[in-house]
Amino acid sequence: MSTPPTWGPLRSFGRIKSRTLKPRQAALMETLLPQIAVPDPAAGPIDPRALMPDAKAVWFEVGFGGGEHMAEQAARHPDVLIVGCEPFQNGVGSALRHVEERELTNVRLHMGDARDVLAAFPDASLERVFVLFPDPWPKARHHKRRVIQQETLTELARVLKPGGRFRFVTDWKDYAAWTLERALKEPAFRWPAEKADHWKVAPADHVTTRYQEKLLGDTQPIYLEFERV
């Protein structure tokens, strides 16, 4: 494994808690989360294969929100381990409810910064990475807080296997342009899009969440998918 990057003190996310957790979610934080939590990345390297030894692939979701996309993908692909990271406590509580209700055994969670877990993964250990509707930090002075930075893309390229895919979706034009510009500078990524349908039309396996339906950005969703060469 290469030397882990230094992220610095800047967080790529805002608040980590809003309303008080519902009793059921609070209970799941105490009972279910410890059972499916990713090992503390500060303790050393994490082998995702060890989290589900019989998994045929490992997928990674950065900032899973309420967990709808993660849970649906896990239900569709029970033989795939999906590791999800989310710093927002209420989102983790929601995801735990999805995991319990759908009896998902192939989900592992980290309540915190996804970049810490990413840095603890071995080279070429993931088949897919999802970054869906991340905080856009639209003001120019806040762009340094965006989760997509050049060093993040370099880390994603490191942990993805050749042929692996990185999907980024946003409903902010500037963030799409920002990500595309930086991804094209990363020599390990190839953008296979050839026509507008490739970024304007949702991929066949995309899961539309309630957050996406709110249309909070300044454009219809833009779907960018890159291949690890």
Catalytic, 197? Answer: no
Q: What is the largest CA-CA distance in the chain?
A: 49
Q: Give CA torsion, residues 18, 21, 25, 29, to 10 deg.
A: 80
Residues 78 and 94: their CA atoms lie apart, in Å, by 20
Residues 83 and 60: their CA atoms lie apart, in Å, by 5
Residues 54 and 21: their CA atoms lie apart, in Å, by 34
Residue 169 contacts residue 219 (beta carbons within 8 Å): no
Residues 36 and 39: their CA atoms lie apart, in Å, by 9
Active-site residue, selected from the candidate residues 113, 135, 171, 197:
135
Residue 198 contacts residue 143 (beta carbons within 8 Å): no
H/E element, 90: helix 89-101
Active site residues per annotation: 135
